[in-house]
Amino acid sequence: MIKAGLQARLGQHMTLTPQLRMAIRLLQMSAVELEAEVNQALESNPLLDREDEASADATPGDAAEAVNGAAQTSSTPPGDQDGHERPSAGGDDDLGRGPDAYAEEWGRGSDGVGPARDGSELAAATPALEDLHDHLFWQLHLTPMSPRDQRIGVSLIEAINDEGYLEGSLDDIRACIGPEAGTPPDDDEILAVLHRIQRFDPLGVGARDLSECLCVQLSAMAADVPALALARTIACGHLEELARQGPERLAASLGHPPETMAEAVALLRSLDPRPGSGMGGGEPDYIVPDCVAWREGGVWQVALAPGSQPRLAVNQHYQGLIGKASRSDASYLKGQLQEARWLIRSLQTRAETLRKVADCIVRQQSGFLDHGPQAMRPLTLREVAEEVGLHESTVSRATARKYLHTPRGTFEFRHFFASGVATGDGGAASSTAIQAMIRKLVEAEDPRKPLSDARIASQLKADGIPVARRTVAKYREAMNIPASNERQRLG
């Protein structure tokens, strides 16, 4: 027989409060996303103000209620609020420059002594980058052509990639021309326009392969250039033989003396195999660093980057209206006041977490900052979490799309985390350090006899780094280093 009853149970469970959800959401945002989130909150919440605006509007009798995040602590540098990255020169002189110098240089004009520029002045001072396709279209419109050839030229230019090579077949180009041209053009018509475009600046753009690209550039040279005829012969039909056999054997097979072959190879190397890569590809992307690291008195210091932490305050005027408003208006203002305080506290928590994590990373990877990638040590999220007293998931959110500005450059926080390989002396080497060693070995190899993955693994093992050949291959591919047979240079 079923009967109803009451039972009391004791248990624990975690509930995500709205404030905790907000803190988690803000922590995983990048600096750009955070600024957009803050701007949206400022537009929708009348109880929120930028701190400088609130200070300007406040009366002497108002009680200032503002939380500045880490900017209130001694570790946060004062300075510029523009939020742009200043690329580091990477020299030793930078090691002693603290965040004040970092902010000060951003506040100067291009002459180093002028006043700080706002965003509009910086945009006006930045030259517009011309896209490769815009540059080619400009030349096409200045070239005397029939309307039909102009349409063919437009379709050809649209099919040129950023490196300057034509993508797609002639049939694809023909299909893109459209019915405005009337009768579809045949191959000879398309090739005639293509040959004119290939003589545009940069010379060789629109080529369908490397051989055609080099031949076009050679065709524009004067006839008295030494070894020009042989260079054309090689470019038009013997590039693979040159790479596979080397100049001496190719010279013998073509019946030319080694001296002439050397001149031809030097001429080919002076050409541009990617004629379009030198043109701008649109507006540059900027990275906004979240923290800055510098060395002072032989010790590495860390602080939030100037301008990375939004400075918000509660609007005292609207806060004062809560007691005078009607019940419904007061309820609305109280809700907005609570949201404003949550946001300010969440921003403070975010800033403190980022500074803790960045300080731990710099302390753990000081060898990398002092000596370069070969000194990068293995580091995991768990190690950082245990050191700073945070949960591993919190550290993961704090390192996602966050950047640290150092004298060696600006790196994502996650760049400093690397898996480790046990070394022969009982220590460990990070994957980043091993990649740096592989790159160093490749750069120092004999181009006539490049090192295979197995030989690189043997040399690393001799240095106390036991890695397998497949591991070397994986790291080499991750660094975009070709295989040994593709790195061979016999010239």
Q: What is the mean pLDDT of residues 385-401?
A: 91
Q: Which of 86, 74, 141, 139 is nearest to 112 (CA)?
A: 86
pLDDT of residue 6: 80
- The pLDDT tens digits for 300-342 are 999 999 888 899 999 998 898 888 888 888 899 999 999 999 9
Q: 6 is written with which tokens?
A: 């009451």
Average pLDDT of span 104-116: 40
296 and 384 part of one domain: yes
In a domain, 219, yes or no: yes
The whole-number pLDDT of residue 125 equals 37
Residues 152 and 41 in one domain: no
Q: Rounded CA gap, 196 and 121, in Å?
A: 40
Percent of the chain with pLDDT over 90: 36
316 and 340 part of one domain = yes
Q: Within its chain, how far is the Cα of 37 from the centroid?
A: 22
Q: Examine the pLDDT at 94 and tell me if it is beyond 90.
A: no
pLDDT at 79 (0 to 100)? 36
- Cα-Cα-Cα-Cα torsion 462, 463, 465, 466, nearest 10 degrees, comes to 0
Confidence of residue 418 (pLDDT cuts 50, 70, 90): confident
Q: Would 314 be classed as within a structural domain?
A: yes
Task: Report the pLDDT averaged over residues 115-126.
Answer: 38
Dihedral sign, CA of 183, 188, 192, 194? positive
pLDDT band at 356 (very low <50, low <70, confident <90, very high): very high
* Residue 81 within a domain: no
- Chain-wide mean pLDDT for the chain? 80
d(CA 467, CA 460): 7
- Answer whether residue 122 shows pLDDT above 50: no
Same domain, 405 and 371: yes
> Which domain does 460 fall in, by range?
420-487
Predicted pLDDT at 120 = 38
Tell me what pLDDT residue 478 has. Answer: 83
Over residues 266-311, the pLDDT tens digits come to 999 999 999 988 775 555 567 889 999 999 988 999 999 988 889 9
Q: What is the CATH number of the domain that holds 445?
A: 1.10.10.60
pLDDT at 325: 84
406 vs 285: which has the higher pLDDT:
406
- The pLDDT of residue 81 is 34
pLDDT digit string, tens, across residues 16-39: 678 888 888 999 898 888 999 999
Tokens of 343: 């946001």
Picking from 411, 484, 392, the residue whose alpha carbon sits closest to that of residue 441 is 484
pLDDT band at 375 (very low <50, low <70, confident <90, very high): confident
Integer Rg of the chain from CA? 31
Note the Cα 322 to chain centre separation in Å.
47
Confidence tier at 209 by pLDDT (50, 70, 90): very high
Picking from 173, 197, 221, the residue at the C-terminal end of a domain is: 197
Q: What's the number of CA atoms in the CB half-sphere (13 Å) around residue 335?
A: 8
Sort strands 291-296 and 403-406 into parallel, antiparallel or unpaired: parallel
pLDDT of residue 99: 63
Q: How confident is the model at residue 43 (pLDDT cuts 50, 70, 90)?
A: very high
Tell me, yes or no, whether 380 and 294 share the same domain.
yes
Asked if the structure places residue 98 within a domain, the reply is: no
Domain shared by 138 and 178, yes or no:
yes
Contact between 430 and 379 under an 8 Å Cβ cutoff? The reply is: yes
**In the prediction, which pLDDT does 300 show?**
94
Question: Which pLDDT value is given to residue 104?
Answer: 52
Q: What is the pLDDT of residue 366?
A: 92
Query: Mind listing the pLDDT tens digit for each residue in 77-87?
Result: 333 333 333 33
pLDDT for the residue numbered 56: 45
Q: DSSP character for 168? A: S
Same domain membership, residue 367 and residue 316: yes
In this structure, what are the phi and psi dihedrals at residue 376, rounded to the nearest 5 degrees? -70, 130
Residue 374 lies inside a defined structural domain of this protein: yes
Please count the structural domains in the chain. 4
303 and 375 in a single domain? The answer is yes
The encoded tokens of residue 222 equal 């004067």
Q: What average pLDDT score do residues 90-109 get? A: 49
76 inside domain: no
pLDDT at 433: 82
- Please tell me the predicted confidence (pLDDT) of residue 340: 93
Residue 368 has pLDDT above 60, yes or no: yes
Specify the range with the lowest mean pLDDT, choosing from 125-139, 238-252, 268-282, 430-444: 125-139
Who wins on pLDDT, 172 or 429?
A: 172
Residues forming beta bridges with residue 304, ordered by sequence position: 291
> Which two three-digit tokens encode residue 451?
């090192």
Q: Work out the number of other CB atoms within 10 angstroms of the CB of residue 160.
A: 21
Looking at the structure, do residues 376 and 403 belong to the same domain, yes or no?
yes
Residue 163 neighbours by CB distance under 10 Å: 17
Non-local CB neighbours of 177 within 8 Å, separated by 6+ positions: 151, 152, 155, 184, 185
Torsion sign, CA atoms 303, 306, 310, 315: positive
Q: What is the number of alpha carbons within 13 Å of residue 133 lying toward its C-beta?
A: 13
Work out the number of other CB atoms within 10 angstroms of the CB of residue 443. 8
The answer to whether residues 293 and 391 belong to one domain is yes
pLDDT score at 374: 84
CA–CA distance, 290 with 298 (Å, rounded to integer)? 23
Ranges of H-type helices in 365-468: 366-371, 381-388, 392-399, 431-444, 453-462
**Residue 73: partners with Cβ closer than 8 Å, 6 or more residues away:** none
Residue 260 clears pLDDT 80, i.e. is over it: yes
Q: Are both 386 and 341 inside the same structural domain?
A: yes
Q: Which one, of 384, 447, 459, 376, lies nearest residue 418 by Cα?
A: 376
Residue 89 domain flag: no
164 and 227, same structural domain? no
d(CA 421, CA 429): 5
Q: Which residues of 174-213 are buried (b: 16+ CB within 10 A; e: fewer)?
A: beebeeebeeebeeebbeebbebbbebebbbbbbeeebbb
State which H helix or E strand residue 52 sits in. helix 51-57
Residue 75, pLDDT score: 36
Mean pLDDT confidence for 144-148: 88
